[in-house]
């Protein structure tokens, strides 16, 4: 097994962090808008944040698999 260059690991961590942050913020924004539209409490905001986190995790799985596949 070869050691990957440090810039590859740095780019992977950057992509994961940015992807999770953006997906979570989009879920937060959509949940907040739905709460304003329906005049509800923070119910949809919480649902939106968790949905954004889930979408972020699902979107980084192929990136991590590709990175781990490069190591073999």
Q: Which pLDDT score, from 0 to 100, does residue 51 have?
A: 97
Which pLDDT tens digit goes with each residue over 18-33?
A: 999 999 999 999 999 9
Question: 28-36: long-range contacts (C-beta < 8 A, 24 or more apart)?
Answer: 28/52
Across all residues in the chain, what is the average pLDDT? Answer: 90
Mean pLDDT to the nearest integer, 28-52:
95
The secondary structure element, H or E, covering residue 50 is helix 43-71
By percentage, how much of the chain surpasses pLDDT 70? 90
């Amino acid at each position: 097994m070869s050691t990957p260059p440090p810039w590859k690991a740095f780019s992977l961590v950057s992509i994961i962090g940015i992807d999770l942050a953006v997906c979570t913020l989009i879920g937060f924004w959509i949940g907040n808008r739905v709460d304003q539209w329906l005049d509800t409490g923070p119910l949809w905001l919480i649902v939106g944040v968790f949905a954004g986190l889930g979408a972020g995790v699902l979107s980084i799985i192929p990136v991590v698999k590709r990175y781990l596949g490069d190591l073999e």
